[in-house]
Structure 1
Amino acid sequence: MNFFERQAEVRKASAKLVWLFVLAVIGIVAVIDLAVWWAIGFPTLDVAIGPLAIVTVLTVVTIGLTSWIRTLMLRRGGGGKVAASLGGVAVPEDTADPGLRRYRNVVEEIAIASGMPVPELYLLPHEAGINAFAAGWAPGNAAIAVTQGALDRLNRDELQGVIAHEFSHVVNGDMRLNIRLIGVLAGIVGLAVVGRVLLSGSGSRNRKNNNAGPLIIVALAAMIAGYIGVVCGRLIKAAVSRQREYLADASAVQFTRQTDGIAGALKKIGGLQAGSTLRAGKAEDVSHMLFGEGRKFSSLFATHPPLAKRIRLLDPAFDPAELEQLSHRWAAAPPSGLHEDQARGLAPVSEQHPQAPRSLQPPGRQQPMVQAQPRAVVANVGDPGSGSFAHAGTILRDIPEDFLIRARRADTVVPLVFGLLISADNDTRVRQYHALAARHGQPVADAAWNEGSALTALDPALRLPLSEIAFPALRHRTSEELTAIGASITELVKADGNTSIFEYCLSTLLHRDLHEAIHNNPPWRARHTSLHRSHGVVATLFAVLARVGHREPGAAEAAFRTGLATTLPGVQLPYHPPPQGPFALGAAWPVLDGLPGHDKAKLIEGVVAVIGSDGAMTVEESELLRTVCAVLHCPLPPLVGSQTAAPRSG
């Protein structure tokens, strides 16, 4: 199952959730209406229709409004609000704790390798069980949280497996489904709370008024119906989430290319007394989002598959009796993840990377090129290949440590991001300086000027990854500050009237991510359409890409035709590169982002065919490809040799 098929499965699961919710509401309404009919003495239908209609409307409004408000609150708060509700604390950018630095480094590696924004990091410091979850409405406001038990007990491979499992939920769109589940259950539980309040009030009223009996019956029915709804809600959670957990385990293995990590984490859950249990009072709300069971449920209500079954799917030789042996061994001496890393030859995790020689390069050095095969690239969307994780680790090691430190700090990240866009041309540089000073003050402008000078020697292939690492610290600002930062980015890009591909890619990705961080949605409303109704927009995209990658008009038009033949075979469209260059794509994104999954796959094949029509892809072209995929919400891992090789036949 590829990325686009998994996205379709999530949409089916969302539709299933809606129908199950509707059926639960119908059942609850029926129970309450029956109670009301009984309370008013079983009158004829023409007499009862008025009271029953009022009760039905009030019941539906109570459930629907509670669900909507709860979902809206979670959307606006992002994943961090969910983590904070369980006692989570944000991981400091400048932490010296080896476990937290290892945690941050693993998350950054996986984010870069998967082509996703780096999420916020949270720790649940009072939880001894091994657990984790990803939460958020969109990748731009996602957060990943792990328990203290996970940091203490898991070695690096096991932590990678757990984090990769959670990232699969982000990539596959499960986070939004999980938030909807919380909202649905809040509405059903809300009815039970209303019934309990009415019952309490009617009880005191009954002591003063003997006519309060009907109200007691209605309140009791509302409370009973609400708790029946809670049972239905738990069944809904179990039905929706169990299969997603199997898929997330498989995706984590595919991502890390080894089963020992995630299987080892599951064995530690089964062998340690704390298991994966969470003590937080709201653990029930997020039980379907967790890596392991946060509460003990019967098999009927379990949100996760049986632990032994999950392990056996990863390790066919596993014997469940092994958990009992591990439990006896670890009762006296619980495992330490950091000590296990040291025993395996890994240094205590300061995560201070030695700098590789390719991290800095003189301007003008010829950029490396990779081969590009359209179907192979599409197959890697949402599915990092065997080299992606190792390549992401290399990227992090290659970025100088002082840049990484400033990218992770809230007080230095803004000048660093501005510095990535500071021009080498002195006149343009001066205009950019004055624009920043006018909007943000002279200290920020001075810092950005210095960052621009320092960043000129950074390998161009590392500039976008550095901006991705900077994103979590960047979004720790008010919406007004983020809006001002976005406006400054646009002004810096347009200062010289000649936008480079890197400038366009960086500004586009930052604008999208900042907008999602503020508004929980991309800067446009996707228009649901199809490729065959979007010929003009597809032609604009391919014309821009062809013009960027080919200086000769004849070669550019040939590349354009290659893309059309791939995506829209048999369709003939004129080649007219828009004069505004990449900025013409702003009007195309709402249409292209609204394409169904199989059409997006065909579109990406065409994009690869256009920019790789000469048989190779430069760093600039690969950045543009990743930007197009990111804007379409189709995360593409960094392109490395074997990932772009043509698939072998036979």
Structure 2
Amino acid sequence: MDFFTAQEQARRQTGRLVVLLVLAVLALIAVTTLVVAVVLYMAGIGGAHSQPQPTLQGMMALLSWELLASVAVGVVALVGLGGLFKRRQLRRGGKAVAEALGGREINLNTRDSDERRILNVVEEMAIASGTPVPSVYVLEEEGINAFAAGYQPGDAVIGMTRGAIRQLSRDELQGVVAHEFSHILHGDMRLNIRLVSLLHGILLIGLAGGMLLRSLRFRRMGGNKRDNSAALVMGLGAALMLIGYAGTFFGNLMKSAVSRQREYLADAAAVQYTRNPQGIGGALVKIGANAKGSALAAPQTAEFSHLLFSQGIKQGFSRFMATHPPLKTRIQRVMPGWDGQFVALKPAPGVTVEPDQSPQSTAGAGGRASVRDNVRASLENAGAPHAGSMATVLSAASVQMAIGAMGQPDQRHVAQAQTVLSALPAALKTAAHEPYTARALIYAMLLSENDAQRQHQLAVLENIALPDVFTELHTLMADVARLDVQLRLPLIELTLPALTSLTIEQAQHFRLCMERLIHSDGHVSLFEWTLYQLLLSHLSEHHGGAENLTLQACERECQRLLSVLAAAGLEQGLESVQERASEMAHALHAAQQVLPFELAAVEDADDMQALSLAVERLRRLKPLQKSLLLQSMARCIEHDGRIRPAEAELFRAIADMLGCPVPPLLGGGTEEQAVLAE
């Protein structure tokens, strides 16, 4: 299943869940109305008289439109307000879920070898898949489990138990992380977190019944025999508890059914990403062999159980309530030759991994692993002659290959991510992991190549930037200036966990400093706009609007975006207006082949504010419509048969803003790629 089809299915699944919720609420209103009528009748309220032998006719006499309306208002208010309350609790996305489960964010410069290892694996997988690097949380639990949570890749987090970090090998960690990235890429993560909010509203009915029952402790019992209020409260409270928990029961059935199917898909995706069934398969075997299994002790585990890598709570009396497929079934699907035995393995010894090292996976690959490593090493030597530089030839096929790999990167992209991380200077990678130096890195990227303009920018920044950040800027700016264009986007992605940890005040000040740097010369360049918008899309609490627009409805926005891409790809040697116009027309003609309308260059293609509004609206395209737009963008930059690195990174950055994570574009010969694909 390709990325856009998976996104479309997740969008439709969300719609179905809303319909099911509405039906559940209507059923709850009907049942609650009936129960309230019975309670009122038994209590002799509303004109009814208590009788030793209640009659159906007497109970039905209490049913009225007024009672139905009153109950409907109450139920809708409880479900609606409960869902909104939970949604507000989870507005910070994955961080809120991780903290609710007792997680602690791993320090990006941690000296703990196990934590350093999982951070490296997550960074590799993020760069390989083209997604922002998520924050990583550790849960101090002995069970082996993990999760991915968030509304979108920009606010996603990866959580991992201490048991998983200590006991799983690097290959197994890579398999588990690949599984979680599948949830991020295929829209499962947003679906799962919305399920939490929807089901919380139904659960609130049961909680309201429990509160009514507990309130009886504060009422004086006895005295007036004709006072039936206590019995009324007790009956109504018990009825609401029964109804609420019944609703939650069926809601959990729905949640479990959705979750189980998604787990199978994520397991298969993990094998495709890593090309190593032993990775995720070995992790599942270790769960079966582990004394704690995958169970978590956190009180909120039941609420978030469908987000976990493996069953987090006891299965209960019915396997239909399980949020995950049976462990043996999952293992046999990824490792058909498994003997069915859960062999207790010793915990993997701690492997010291320096921040700039990426140990290669060799377990289960036999002799082919060494061949692949040798090819990769030769590619690294040829592609990165010195730190911070990469020499990659990108063809027209490179971008099509990257689009085809969206949501399903493979070992070639993981190898490319390892190459990129190796090519980044160690000082810059270390700086990307700390909030002060991460800000300095971004400021350094915004500095002009012109000496006079750069000095002016530094003078402007010195007046408003934090002194410590400004000092770090002077330390890092030389390395950043020498950075290869293909390494800029990965470096920006590495800074995101540190930048998302900023407080609201710090983030506002950071944004102000970027704006002052960008506008210091009175002109906003395309690179400045791209960097600013890319960071803004990931650092703001923006969960996106409904994706319901078509390309026809966004014709003007498409014209503007593609005109900007066409202008950015013009050869430096084109001096005359006629030559530039001819080249742009050629690019736009190629781009319009997959669109339902013709393209023409806009006159004010350098209006960055208009471009921002255009991209914001294009974010709301339906997933399959975004697929056509990406194909159009690809044809625009590849129309002359080759793609310059700056064009490739601009394409990927804009695709990221549109909510379309594109893996790195692969260059090199087909022979080397074939070896890496084995």
Q: State the partner residue of 2:68.
A: 52
Q: State the partner residue of 2:354.
A: 350
Q: State the partner residue of 1:528.
A: 548
Check 1:316–1:361 CA distance in 2 against 1; reply closer, same or farther (3 A cut).
closer
- Structure 2 counterpart of 1:543, from 557, 563, 568: 563
Q: Which amino acid aligns with 1:70?
A: K
Please give the alpha-carbon distance, in whole angstroms, between the structure 1 residues aligned to 2:88 and 2:300.
18
Q: Which amino acid aligns with 1:259?
A: P
Q: Which amino acid aligns with 1:370?
A: L
Q: CA deviation at 1:384?
A: 1.5
Check 1:366–1:95 CA distance in 2 against 1; reply closer, same or farther (3 A cut).
closer
Q: State the partner residue of 1:447.
A: 472
Check 1:256–1:98 CA distance in 2 against 1; reply closer, same or farther (3 A cut).
same
Indicate yes or no: 2:179 matched with 1:153.
no
Instruction: Give matches, 1:397-408, under 5 Å.
Output: 397-408=422-433
Q: CA deviation at 1:16?
A: 2.4
Check 1:292–1:572 CA distance in 2 against 1; reply closer, same or farther (3 A cut).
closer
Q: CA deviation at 1:92?
A: 1.2
- Structure 2 counterpart of 1:580, from 603, 606, 611: 606
Q: State the partner residue of 2:372.
A: none
Q: State the partner residue of 1:469.
A: 494
SS at 1:134 equivalent: strand
Check 1:603–1:588 CA distance in 2 against 1; reply closer, same or farther (3 A cut).
same
Indicate yes or no: 2:117 matched with 1:102.
yes
Q: State the partner residue of 2:88.
A: 72
Q: State the partner residue of 2:517.
A: 492
Check 1:399–1:414 CA distance in 2 against 1; reply closer, same or farther (3 A cut).
same
Alpha-carbon contact 2:387-2:423 (below 8 Å) kept:
no
Please give the alpha-carbon distance, in whole angstroms, between the structure 2 residues aligned to 1:272 and 1:359.
43
Please give the alpha-carbon distance, in whole angstroms, between the structure 2 residues aligned to 1:87 and 1:20.
31
Please give the alpha-carbon distance, in whole angstroms, between the structure 2 residues aligned to 1:85 and 1:366.
42
Indicate yes or no: 2:396 matched with 1:372.
yes
CA deviation map 1:264-317 (0-9, x unaligned): 101111122211111112111111000000012131101111111111111112
Q: CA deviation at 1:368?
A: 3.8
Instruction: Give matches, 1:15-414, under 5 Å.
Output: 15-41=15-41, 42=58, 48-75=64-91, 77-125=92-140, 127-202=141-216, 204-209=219-224, 210-212=227-229, 213-297=231-315, 298-320=318-340, 322-323=341-342, 326=343, 330=344, 334-338=345-349, 348-353=352-357, 368-373=392-397, 375-414=400-439
Single out whichever of 137-146 and 151-160 deviates more from structure 2: 137-146
Please give the alpha-carbon distance, in whole angstroms, between the structure 2 residues aligned to 1:577 and 1:622.
24
Q: CA deviation at 1:536?
A: 2.2
Q: CA deviation at 1:375?
A: 4.5
SS at 2:593 equivalent: helix
The aligned length equals 621
CA deviation map 1:197-220 (0-9, x unaligned): 212324635435531223322221
Please give the alpha-carbon distance, in whole angstroms, between the structure 2 residues aligned to 1:240 and 1:293.
14
Q: Provide structure 1 residue ranges, at least 5 long, that are not aligned to the other structure.
A: 340-346
Q: Which amino acid aligns with 2:567?
A: R
TM-score w.r.t. length of structure 1: 0.90
SS at 2:137 equivalent: strand
Single out whichever of 5-14 and 617-626 deviates more from structure 2: 5-14
Q: State the partner residue of 1:622.
A: 648
Aligned-residue RMSD, C-alpha: 2.6
CA deviation map 1:131-154 (0-9, x unaligned): 000112222221111001101110
Please give the alpha-carbon distance, in whole angstroms, between the structure 1 residues aligned to 2:600 and 2:108.
51
Please give the alpha-carbon distance, in whole angstroms, between the structure 2 residues aligned to 1:300 and 1:385.
33
Single out whichever of 98-107 and 38-47 deviates more from structure 2: 38-47
Alpha-carbon contact 1:164-1:252 (below 8 Å) kept:
yes
CA deviation map 1:381-422 (0-9, x unaligned): 222144101110111111121211111012322112211222
Q: CA deviation at 1:101?
A: 0.5
Check 1:136–1:391 CA distance in 2 against 1; reply closer, same or farther (3 A cut).
same
Alpha-carbon contact 1:37-1:52 (below 8 Å) kept:
no
Alpha-carbon contact 1:266-1:307 (below 8 Å) kept:
yes
Alpha-carbon contact 1:377-1:644 (below 8 Å) kept:
no
Indicate yes or no: 2:580 matched with 1:558.
no
Q: Which amino acid aligns with 1:156?
A: R
Q: State the partner residue of 2:49.
A: none
CA deviation map 1:73-132 (0-9, x unaligned): 112x3212211222211111221111100010001111111111111111012x111100
Q: CA deviation at 1:359?
A: 5.8
Q: State the partner residue of 1:7.
A: 7
- Structure 2 counterpart of 1:638, from 659, 664, 676: 664
Q: CA deviation at 1:497?
A: 5.2
Alpha-carbon contact 1:529-1:596 (below 8 Å) kept:
yes
SS at 2:138 equivalent: strand
Q: Percent identity?
A: 36
Single out whichever of 271-280 and 349-358 deviates more from structure 2: 349-358
Please give the alpha-carbon distance, in whole angstroms, between the structure 1 residues aligned to 2:555 and 2:620.
14
Please give the alpha-carbon distance, in whole angstroms, between the structure 1 residues aligned to 2:194 and 2:40.
37
Please give the alpha-carbon distance, in whole angstroms, between the structure 2 residues aligned to 1:263 and 1:362.
36
Check 1:47–1:580 CA distance in 2 against 1; reply closer, same or farther (3 A cut).
same
Check 1:483–1:643 CA distance in 2 against 1; reply closer, same or farther (3 A cut).
farther
Alpha-carbon contact 1:165-1:249 (below 8 Å) kept:
yes
Q: CA deviation at 1:44?
A: 6.1
TM-score w.r.t. length of structure 2: 0.86
The structure that has the greater radius of gyration is 2
Please give the alpha-carbon distance, in whole angstroms, between the structure 2 residues aligned to 1:456 and 1:244.
44
CA deviation map 1:355-399 (0-9, x unaligned): 977668699x99643012364343122221441011101111111
Alpha-carbon contact 1:567-1:605 (below 8 Å) kept:
no
Single out whichever of 159-168 and 375-384 deviates more from structure 2: 375-384
SS at 1:588 equivalent: helix
Please give the alpha-carbon distance, in whole angstroms, between the structure 1 residues aligned to 2:63 and 2:416.
73
Alpha-carbon contact 1:14-1:177 (below 8 Å) kept:
yes
Alpha-carbon contact 2:393-2:668 (below 8 Å) kept:
no
CA deviation map 1:566-600 (0-9, x unaligned): 333xx434333524255542121133212212211
Q: CA deviation at 1:549?
A: 0.4
Please give the alpha-carbon distance, in whole angstroms, between the structure 2 residues aligned to 1:497 and 1:504.
13
Indicate yes or no: 2:530 matched with 1:514.
no
Please give the alpha-carbon distance, in whole angstroms, between the structure 2 residues aligned to 1:207 and 1:643.
89
